[in-house]
Amino acid sequence: MDERQFLRARSVATASVAAAEWIFLVWQHLHGGVASHHLLARADLPAISNGWGGLILPWVTWFLIGRVHRRVTSPAGMSMRYAVAGFISALCFGALLSIFFTLGNDQVTGLMFESLFLIALVAPIYRAEYLLGFVLGMAYTFGGVLPSIIGSVMALITLVIHRYIRAGLLRVGGMFIRVVKRA
């Protein structure tokens, strides 16, 4: 994909997300008002309106797709297929997390959220395509702001897990295997 084709695809994706979000906000407005969500689901913390998603989600989409493109086109870049697979898997994960939350199944929601730390040991889920899928998968239920905040914090945590803790565990495992082989 050349630069012109990519810019067009990036623009179409951003416009699609913006249109979907604004249609959803208009629908909410006409059916009882635009919802707000409290931080950490605690009424004593500030509430954030879903209306901010009309600005945040298109910006996040534009920015993160640009990050994916930069990595895919770099000399040591990966295949676009892997990026799309990561996006779709994170989209499904975020949607399932939202569904279980909506159904009130806190046990499954908690396990899914905690499983991200284990998944980070194996997969680089801190990358832009995973973050974009996670945010968009949760946007219908939680709006655009809360998933963006939570996803960004989780991306930082899983970056540390994948790059440093995983590397340390692999190093210790390698030392253990060398010791066992000598014995």
Q: In the beta sheet, which residues pair with residue 93?
A: none
pLDDT in tens, 41-82: 788 988 888 899 999 999 999 999 999 999 888 887 778 899
Confidence of residue 179 (pLDDT cuts 50, 70, 90): confident
CA-to-CA distance for 55 and 160, rounded, in angstroms?
29
Here the tokens at position 81 are 């297929």
Mean residue pLDDT across the chain:
92
pLDDT in tens, 155-172: 999 999 999 999 999 999
Q: What are phi and psi of 10, to 5 degrees?
A: -65, -40
DSSP 131-180: HHHHHHHHHHHHTTHHHHHHHHHHHHHHHHIIIIIHHHHHHHHHHHHHHH
CA-to-CA distance for 109 and 104, rounded, in angstroms?
9
Question: Which stretches within the chain are classed as H helix?
Answer: 3-30, 53-72, 80-102, 106-122, 128-142, 145-160, 166-182
Range of the domain at 69: 3-182
Instruction: Please determine, for residue 114, whether its predicted confidence score (pLDDT) is greater than 90.
Output: yes
Number of domains present in the structure of the chain? 1
